[in-house]
Amino acid sequence: MTSTEPARPAVRPTRQRRAVTAALAAFDDFRSAQEIHDLITRQGDSVGLATVYRALSALADSGEVDMLRSEDGEAIWRRCSDTHHHHLVCRSCGATVEVEGPAVERWTSAIAGEHGYADISHTLEIFGTCPACRVS
Amino acid sequence: MTSTEPARPAVRPTRQRRAVTAALAAFDDFRSAQEIHDLITRQGDSVGLATVYRALSALADSGEVDMLRSEDGEAIWRRCSDTHHHHLVCRSCGATVEVEGPAVERWTSAIAGEHGYADISHTLEIFGTCPACRVS
DNA sequence: CCTGAGTTGACAACGATTCTCAACATCGCT
DNA sequence: AGCGATGTTGAGAATCGTTGTCAACTCAGG
Ligand SMILES: [Zn+2]
Ligand SMILES: [Zn+2]
Ligand SMILES: [Zn+2]
Ligand SMILES: [Zn+2]
C-alpha cells in the first residue's frame, strides 16, 4: 500500500463553504438551497447557487446536516445533531423538533427482518401545524 | 342548500383512465409516471403524459394508489390497499411489501401532541435488500 | 341533433438540480 | 516567495420531472 490513509479528499475551508455553514447556523429550521443562498446574498456575501448545492451535499454526506424532502418534493436542509433522529416539522412555518423513537427503530428492524430484507435504512418525518401557527 | 350531494365531480371512465389503471395493475412495485406512460405506449395505446399525471393524481387523491418519492425526489406510484400503511421497498429490484404498525401510528400522534402540533401527517418508508436480491 | 360540462393532448412554461469548463484559490514543497 | 498539482468556483446552459394553457373533443341527457 502506498499509504495507511484512506485517500483523503482534501476538503478546503473556503470562504464559500464558510458562508454556507454560517447561513445554516442562522436558521434553526429546514430551508431550501434557494433560501440559504438568498440569506448569504442578503448578507453581502456572494456565492454561486451551484456552490451552495455542492456545499450542502458535502455537508449532508459528512452527516453534519440533514436533508429531507418537503411535501412537494423539494430538498430542504438543516444543521442537525449527529445522532440518528427524525423530525416533526411545521408545514406552515417550518419550525422543527428533533425526535427520537427507539421503539420505532426497533420496529423497522424487526419488520425488515421478518421479510428477509437486509441492509436497512428508513425515512420517517412528521408534518403538522405548530402551536404558533395555530392562532387562527 | 341546493342539494344533499356534496357537488359530485362527475368523473368519467374514459379510455385513458382505464389504460392508466390497467398499467398500474400490471406492476406490483412503485413506478414513475414516465414508466407507466411507457408501458401504455408499448401496449399500443396512446395517452398523453399530462393525462397520465392527471389520472395518477386523481387516483392518489381517492386513495386507490399510493404516491411516494424515490430517494432522488421523483414521484413514484403504485396501486395499493386503501387502508393506511407503509412500505418496505427493495432498493435493488423495487419489490414492495405493505406493512402496518399501529404502534408507530400511535407514537407519531403522541409525539406530535406533546409538542402541540396539530393536523398531522407522516411519511415512513423502509428501504432494504430483499431476499431474492441477496444471492451474492 | 344540441348543449354543456368534463376530458384530452400537444406544447409551452416552470423550477429545482446538475453539468460544463475556463478562471481561480489553496496546499505542499523548495 | 515561487511553482506546479489539484481542489474549487461561478455563470450560464442543459436536464428533467411536473404543471399550465387552451382549443378540440367526448359523451350524457334532453
Ligand atoms: Zn435532523
Ligand atoms: Zn430512525
Ligand atoms: Zn401502499
Ligand atoms: Zn402511518
For residue A11, what pLDDT is reported?
Answer: 80
Mutation site, A111, A114, A125, A129, interface B, largest B CB count within 10 A: A111
A91 touches chain B (CB under 8 A): yes
Mean pLDDT of A87-91: 92
Mean pLDDT of A93-99: 91
Residue for cell digits 451474492? B136
What domains, with CATH codes, occur in chain B?
Answer: 15-135 (1.10.10.10)
| Integer angstrom CA distances of residue B42 from B34, B46, B56 | 12, 9, 18
Which helix or strand (DSSP H or E) is residue A96 part of?
A: strand A96-99
- The answer on pLDDT for A2 being more than 80 is no
Coil vs helix vs strand at B123: strand
Which helix or strand (DSSP H or E) is residue A129 part of?
A: strand A118-129
- How far apart CA A126 and CA A68 sit, in angstroms, is 11
What nine digits make up the cell of B75? 414521484
Torsion of CA B76, B79, B84, B90, to 10 degrees: -50
Tens digit of each residue's pLDDT (9 = 90 or more) over A18-61: 999 999 999 999 999 999 999 999 999 999 999 999 999 999 99
- How far apart CA B79 and CA B77 sit, in angstroms, is 7
Splitting chain B (136 residues) into consecutive groups of 10 residues, what average pLDDT does each group show? 46 91 96 97 96 97 94 94 93 90 95 94 92 84
The torsion angles phi and psi of A83, rounded to 5 degrees, stand at -85, 150
| Integer angstrom CA distances of residue B135 from B91, B126, B131 | 14, 20, 7
Give the bases of strand D that a protein CB approaches within 7 Å.
6-12, 17-21, 26-28
What nine digits make up the cell of B70? 424515490
In 3D space, the residue among B69, B108, B98 whose CA is nearest the CA of residue A74 turns out to be B69
What confidence tier does A13 reach under pLDDT thresholds 50, 70, 90?
Answer: confident
Contacts of B106 (CB under 8 A, 6+ apart): none
What predicted TM-score, i.e. pTM, was given to this entire model?
0.87
- The reply to whether residue B101 touches residue A107, judged by beta carbons under 8 angstroms, is yes
Average pLDDT, chain B: 90
